[in-house]
Structure 1
Amino acid sequence: MAGKTEELEKRFRDQFCKWMGRSVDFKLVYRASTDGMSPAIFHQKCDNKGATVVIGYNTDGCVFGGYTSVDWRPRTLGDQVEPRHDEKAFLFSLKYMNEYCPRIFPVKNPGLAIVTCTTYTAVFGSACAPDMRILPSSVVNKDTNGNFAANFNVGLFKFGTIYDNGGVTMQQVTNNNFVFKEVEIYQVNDPVSLDKPWREDNKGNTATLKKMIEDYCPVEGTGVKQSRILLVGSVGAGKSSFVNTMNSIFRGHMTCRASTGSAENSLTTKFRCHQLRNDSNVLKFRLCDTRGLEDTHGIDPGDLTAVLDGQVPDLYTFNPFSPITPDSPGYIKTPTVNDKIHCVAFVIDSTSVDVMNESIFSKFKLVQKLANQRGIPQVIVLTKVDQIELDVEEDLTRLLYSSRVAYVVDQVAQLIGLPRGHVLPVKNYEKETELNETVDRFALLSLQQMLRFADDYMHEFLDVLNTRDQ
């Protein structure tokens, strides 16, 4: 991702929730690369935190560690070693040699689940022959490669003594490598349901909201017949699904206007200005879908510029190796404001914010730079919000009361550099066969905000036009 965050990778988080049998939150309390590695720092950061999960990332691409539901704070003074009882403790392996293969090793002797001591760090099992250790009981500084060499005597480990290893060896978990690129410790808490919504909860009638958008007209005097909203996002973020969701809402049943599904490369290869309809009328806005941003391919910066400036015709086929030119078929040489983009919507998968790679992030920033140069307002359509937290998945009406959703909204707003009010959480229709009023409401609220911002662009256009005429 573009810089480290304090958010645990989603698939790890989901796996822990599955192992624990409930939805939980993870709060980063310790990170070796920023906090350093020593027993004193460990206890300063991790004591009195209750349940924690300790995760080590070694230089061979192995990710492993342990969970305990009891506190690491020693209950005795000095360097006295104290075993702690924990029936919920377990060890785990998440990745082995860069391959994701989650395995859990539950405690079988809970009376010796962990050991606490002022001079010890995270010890799972007995003090003399632990099943697992991640942090050493001494100060370790970064080596010349920025790694932490724990220098454990692996021969002293007795993996499978206190915890049930199911026949798996330490080598099959760690590759006997205790040189760590990173060590993180997360406090584990039950999710907090907010007493008040983190954003004003518009509980207005969904049918009324839908009718308002159906009656929408672009700003008078601009010559714009249909407002144009450009959807920009990585492959699989949900751009085409958003188009289908909006079309389904206005048609009153499930539709499939845009191609969706799972693919390594973008399923959208053409520039499409989707025209939405209700039962009787063509609506006065278009949702413009582009090729997904990809690491190696995706829409060219030159194509993006042409799209924003209204020079790319509908149904134009993108070629990642050859951007559009004035000689391309259908190229609009003298675009009007009616052809231009009036609002840009960054479509971002809320479940992958913490693993967005640098290449995709840089492409978002390029689009943002081009839009800012043209005075085009921007929003973020945050998709798959129902997958962030189990409570929201079970009841979408809890979306605005979810502390986790609020956190991701803050996170993505800071990442892209837009106000929180520009982040619009939605759940696209994917597995459903019938419409749902709550899904409709959040989707319509997001579209309403985009149309308002498109109007802002047009008002600015008129102001500039009037200034020139004076």
Structure 2
Amino acid sequence: MTGKTELNNIDRGQFCKWIGRSVDFKLVYKASRDGMSPAIFHQKCDNKGPTVVIGYNTDGCVFGGYTSVDWKPCTCGTAQTRWDEKAFLFSLKYMYEYHPKIFPVNNPELAITMCSTYSPVFGVAANPDMVILPHKIVNKDTNGNFVTGLTRENIQFGKVYDSEGVPIQQVTKDNYIFKEVEIYQVMDPVRLDKPWRNEKKDNKATLKKMVEDYCPVKDTGVKQSRILLVGSVGAGKSSYFNTINSIFKGHVACQANTGSSEHSLTTKYRCHQLRNNSTYLNFRLCDTRGMEDTQGIDPCDWTAILDGHVPDRYTFEPCSPITPDSPGYIKTPTVNDKIHCVAFVIDSSSVDVMNESILSKFNLVQKLANERGIPQVIVLTKVDQIELDVEEDLTRLLYSSRVAYVVDQVAQLIGLPRGHVLPVKNYEKETELNETVDRFALLSLQQILRFADDYMYELLDVLNTRDTYNRPTLDTRQPSRKLSSHSLLWLWVIVIILLVFITYYLLSYAYNLTDIFNSLFNIDNQRL
């Protein structure tokens, strides 16, 4: 774990809410890197201003404390308490389950205890509410853990801080063997003077008109561009469609199922069409089942989706991939049925804790898309949850150093250029439309449609130049139409009538020809 911080975006957002403002975190102490002793603690953490101390024990419990004042050695040589009315203790996880809980200070004059021979103490030294680093040198054991020797008897949780009736066992599980201990300096966030990305000045009405007027590239046979939304459960795929749909409906809509669930609420493949009043727009947002560790879409299904074999409203079966015998399977898909751009929908607050299994599934879809020359983007959702300032005012999004950092982070993780990362905030708790929410959603959609056009231009080049590169075959055939039984009946009637007329004509012609021969024969007889 050396060199890698354990504090993730979700934790950062939670601390910002507890502290009550947007803050940045700078790692100043890490036990696995720096060692564990009071001297090292003071060397790394004294006079740093507000800090947060976090312990990660071997039972998956994450807990610690925050103080808004400096740690510093006491000059009198003995332990000394210090006032801090903003201090609090916390629990982030209990046995690997995320259950954030805060325990505010009740007696602020005893909030922390400082001494040159002590590690950080929350509460009174003799009976502290919480201690994570012991007042001695601790080395790693053979498993790489720090066995501190602390026990429940060393802790008097709830004396200075409000435990709210929660016993210390439900915070620490009585385990003070730590895999890691980190201390972060808490600082005011860096305010950017200039936006981290060139800001498009078009207002919502202009952007909306651009999307309304969008048409796929001519001469490709594509009537509606198809955008495939790919993401894990809860990332915001369906919410992204609902947000775009809301803009054109004129009110917050919820056509696609959304919500919090352990498993994906989207079970069918949906090629959503969007309307502007009664007119269909020239693109579709194709929603898929959310990726899960042990469930989700079969790799064969991803291939079928990209190639246009999967019909709208097809129900995915995790244990049974689609086959040519599946109901509705499109055996001869046209370019209209195929995917023209893939949008990976990723929750910005969970970028740094993305499961390896989910990431490998992203990589699979990316590989399949690259083989077909399909461009990809990242729709970065929930950007309001990674910085309090952005949550309070979304117009600060492009001036947020934290958002800029996460954009870089996810671009590197997925392996796409930063310009392919499109930050948005979906409608979630709102009941009315918001101008800024709509602008960022429309900006992302506009860029996605441009990438879809790039794919079609490539197809057009294949059609025009007949080059030998390994490109998808352009198939502009329209699906054949079967005649109804009523139409077939009328067709047979017409055919029969034509046959009658032809027969009559031939018989008449034959009869007249016989008369001519008879006349000629009679003339010849008379001459004889």
* TM-score relative to the length of structure 2: 0.80
Q: Is the 8 A contact 2:87 2:104 kept in 1?
A: no
Cα 1:144/1:396, change in 2 over 3 Å: same
* Superposed counterparts of 1:23-422, under 5 Å: 23-74=22-73, 80-81=77-78, 83=80, 85-87=82-84, 88-98=86-96, 100=99, 102-106=101-105, 108=107, 110=109, 113-117=112-116, 119-127=117-125, 129-152=127-150, 155-160=153-158, 162-163=160-161, 165=163, 170-422=168-420
Letter in 1 for 2:235: A
- Give me the whole-angstrom Cα distance separating, in 2, the residues matched to 1:255 and 1:7: 38
Letter in 1 for 2:55: G
**Which residue pairs with 2:523 in the alignment?**
none
Out of 432, 435, 441, the residue aligned to residue 437 of structure 1 is 435
Cα 1:275/1:7, change in 2 over 3 Å: farther
Higher mean displacement: 362-371 or 123-132: 123-132
Instruction: Using the TM superposition, give the Cα deviation of residue 330 of structure 1 relative to its aligned residue in structure 2, in angstroms.
Output: 2.4
Letter in 1 for 2:21: R
Letter in 1 for 2:61: C
Instruction: Using the TM superposition, give the Cα deviation of residue 72 of structure 1 relative to its aligned residue in structure 2, in angstroms.
Output: 2.8
- Give me the whole-angstrom Cα distance separating, in 1, the residues matched to 2:109 and 2:243: 50
- Give me the whole-angstrom Cα distance separating, in 1, the residues matched to 2:152 and 2:422: 50
* Structure 2 unpaired stretches of 5+: 469-528
2:21 is the counterpart of 1:22: yes
Q: Is the 8 A contact 1:107 1:113 kept in 2?
A: no
Instruction: Using the TM superposition, give the Cα deviation of residue 165 of structure 1 relative to its aligned residue in structure 2, in angstroms.
Output: 4.7
Cα 1:187/1:228, change in 2 over 3 Å: same
Cα 1:62/1:256, change in 2 over 3 Å: closer
SS in 1 for 2:380: strand
Letter in 2 for 1:216: Y
SS in 2 for 1:93: strand
Cα 1:429/1:176, change in 2 over 3 Å: closer
The count of aligned residue pairs is: 466
SS in 2 for 1:352: helix
- Give me the whole-angstrom Cα distance separating, in 2, the residues matched to 1:434 and 1:109: 42
* Cα shift readout 1:38-62 (whole Å, capped 9, x = no counterpart): 4454344433421111011212333
Instruction: Using the TM superposition, give the Cα deviation of residue 257 of structure 1 relative to its aligned residue in structure 2, in angstroms.
Output: 2.8
RMSD of aligned C-alpha atoms? 2.8
Letter in 2 for 1:351: S
Cα 1:171/1:295, change in 2 over 3 Å: closer
- Give me the whole-angstrom Cα distance separating, in 2, the residues matched to 1:368 and 1:133: 47
Higher mean displacement: 195-204 or 130-139: 130-139
Higher mean displacement: 3-12 or 208-217: 3-12
Flag the structure with larger Rg.
2
Letter in 1 for 2:199: D
- Give me the whole-angstrom Cα distance separating, in 2, the residues matched to 1:316 and 1:3: 47
Instruction: Using the TM superposition, give the Cα deviation of residue 15 of structure 1 relative to its aligned residue in structure 2, in angstroms.
Output: 4.2
Instruction: Using the TM superposition, give the Cα deviation of residue 25 of structure 1 relative to its aligned residue in structure 2, in angstroms.
Output: 2.9
Q: Is the 8 A contact 1:89 1:107 kept in 2?
A: no
- Give me the whole-angstrom Cα distance separating, in 2, the residues matched to 1:278 and 1:5: 48
Q: Is the 8 A contact 2:18 2:102 kept in 1?
A: no
* Cα shift readout 1:402-421 (whole Å, capped 9, x = no counterpart): 22222222222222121221
Out of 437, 449, 452, the residue aligned to residue 451 of structure 1 is 449
Out of 403, 424, 427, the residue aligned to residue 426 of structure 1 is 424
Instruction: Using the TM superposition, give the Cα deviation of residue 159 of structure 1 relative to its aligned residue in structure 2, in angstroms.
Output: 4.4
Instruction: Using the TM superposition, give the Cα deviation of residue 173 of structure 1 relative to its aligned residue in structure 2, in angstroms.
Output: 3.5
Q: Is the 8 A contact 2:110 2:124 kept in 1?
A: no
Instruction: Using the TM superposition, give the Cα deviation of residue 14 of structure 1 relative to its aligned residue in structure 2, in angstroms.
Output: 4.5
- Give me the whole-angstrom Cα distance separating, in 2, the residues matched to 1:172 and 1:264: 24
Q: Is the 8 A contact 1:53 1:185 kept in 2?
A: yes
Higher mean displacement: 429-438 or 447-456: 429-438
Letter in 2 for 1:353: V
- Give me the whole-angstrom Cα distance separating, in 2, the residues matched to 1:372 and 1:159: 56
SS in 2 for 1:216: coil
Cα 1:84/1:416, change in 2 over 3 Å: farther
Instruction: Using the TM superposition, give the Cα deviation of residue 423 of structure 1 relative to its aligned residue in structure 2, in angstroms.
Output: 1.0
Letter in 1 for 2:22: S
Q: Is the 8 A contact 1:309 1:335 kept in 2?
A: yes
Cα 1:427/1:4, change in 2 over 3 Å: farther
- Give me the whole-angstrom Cα distance separating, in 1, the residues matched to 2:222 and 2:196: 35
Q: Is the 8 A contact 1:83 1:112 kept in 2?
A: no
- Give me the whole-angstrom Cα distance separating, in 2, the residues matched to 1:40 and 1:377: 54
Larger helix percent? 2
- Give me the whole-angstrom Cα distance separating, in 1, the residues matched to 2:12 and 2:191: 18
SS in 2 for 1:271: strand
Q: Is the 8 A contact 1:7 1:27 kept in 2?
A: no
Q: Is the 8 A contact 1:115 1:124 kept in 2?
A: no
Cα 1:218/1:171, change in 2 over 3 Å: closer
* Cα shift readout 1:12-32 (whole Å, capped 9, x = no counterpart): 444433443333333333333
* TM-score relative to the length of structure 1: 0.90
Q: Is the 8 A contact 1:56 1:65 kept in 2?
A: yes
* Cα shift readout 1:378-411 (whole Å, capped 9, x = no counterpart): 1111112222222222222121122222222222
Q: Spell out structure 1 runs of 4+ moving beyond 6 A.
A: none
Letter in 1 for 2:183: I
Q: Is the 8 A contact 1:249 1:435 kept in 2?
A: yes
Instruction: Using the TM superposition, give the Cα deviation of residue 127 of structure 1 relative to its aligned residue in structure 2, in angstroms.
Output: 4.6
Instruction: Using the TM superposition, give the Cα deviation of residue 466 of structure 1 relative to its aligned residue in structure 2, in angstroms.
Output: 3.8
Higher mean displacement: 439-448 or 102-111: 102-111
Letter in 1 for 2:466: R
**Which residue pairs with 2:466 in the alignment?**
468
